Amino acid sequence: MSSGITGSTVPRRELGRRLRRLREEAGVTIAMASKHLEWSTPKIWRIEKGEVGMRSLDVRQMCELYGAAAETAADLEALAKQTRVKDWWRVYGDAIPHRLDLFFGLEQAADTFRWYEPYLVPGIAQTVRYIREVLNADPTLGPDEIEKRIQARLDRQALITRRLDPPQYDFLLDEDFLHRPVVDPKVMVEQLDHLIGLSELSNVTVRVVPYTAGLHPGIATGPFVILGFPKTSRQGFSEPETVYLEDFTGALYLDKPSDVGRYAAAFEDLKGRSLDEGATRDLIRRTTRSLK
């Protein structure tokens, strides 16, 4: 995986936002646009959500319908070409769930991560054997799919140790993750040693939210990631801060300031209840010794 390449995700989202803004300013509803362009309403909805690549010709038609200025239309047509770049994870085919397409793309563009995980070590910080045990717990995955997902996860991990401007990671992990048994205790020891090593990197902080924190916001939120982005990306776009939520069959992306603000407040509350970095490493080391 090449570092610093954001692929098509950020351009798709930027193009979708700008087309939606043009449509709304023109007073055109999605139903009206659908009828005029002879496209389905779900197609227009997916375009505005940044879920699909676009042809310049299609963008031109939309700009004409919305009465966009010639300079604006030219900018968006150029942007459309960037939405068709092939993302690196496509080589893994159907082994990568569709719900992860957007997350992987945003992950490549982000420069900060505030990550709360109550049950497991986050995927970006998992060792090969730990990944395999986690994936083996899903009865719907076959051996070939598991191996492809392992390799994809390892490819993603190049971000955390990237030499040039690596993203900043702030991990909050509920103490539960330390006591969730895996098949082989040696796997957990290896994983915890790896986590301690990552916590010593200048771009990574790891804190445990201890049982003594009592009831806390994470019980309501479940696991979540807040992705932050440079004010101006390599392509010249400004991507809004986004909260990523995932369940067994789907994913949710929140970028409204009010929604992001609530999750940011929950994260800060959890952070205030967590052990500091030194105490966290001490707790992890004690757990490691107990498993040997």
Residue 114 confidence class, pLDDT cut points 50, 70, 90: very high
Is the CB of residue 106 less than 8 Å from the CB of residue 38? Answer: no
pLDDT averaged over the chain?
Answer: 88
78 falls within a domain: yes
Cut 0.95: pTM above it: no
Is the CB of residue 19 less than 8 Å from the CB of residue 76? Answer: yes
Which residue, of 62, 82, 102, is where some domain finishes? Answer: 82
What integer pLDDT is reported at residue 90 of this predicted model?
56
Q: Are residues 52 and 38 in the same domain?
A: yes
Q: Is the dihedral of CA 9, 10, 12, 16 positive or negative?
A: positive
State yes or no: pLDDT of 232 exceeds 70: no
251 CB burial (10 A radius; 0-12, 13-18, 19+):
middle
If you ran DSSP here, which 8-state letter would residue 29 be given? Answer: -
Q: Are residues 119 and 258 in the same domain?
A: yes
State yes or no: pLDDT of 234 exceeds 90: no
State yes or no: pLDDT of 280 exceeds 60: yes
Mean pLDDT of 133-141: 91
Mean pLDDT of 169-190: 92
Q: Which two tokens stand for residue 59?
A: 């963008």
Around 57, how many Cα atoms within 13 Å sit in the side-chain half-sphere?
Answer: 0
117: phi then psi, degrees, rounded to nearest 5: -135, 115
The CATH number of the domain holding residue 253 is 3.30.870
Chain position carrying tokens 């995955």: 141
Mean pLDDT of 46-51: 87
Q: What is the pLDDT of residues 69-96, one digit of tens each?
A: 999 998 888 888 877 766 655 566 666 6
Mean pLDDT of 157-183: 91
43 CB burial (10 A radius; 0-12, 13-18, 19+):
middle
1 falls within a domain: no
12, 31, 2, 1: which is closest to 235 by C-alpha?
Answer: 12
Tell me if residue 263 falls in helix, strand or coil: helix
Residue 112 confidence class, pLDDT cut points 50, 70, 90: very high
Q: Which two tokens stand for residue 167?
A: 């993203």
Which residue, of 39, 62, 82, is where some domain finishes? Answer: 82
| Tally of structural domains, the chain | 2
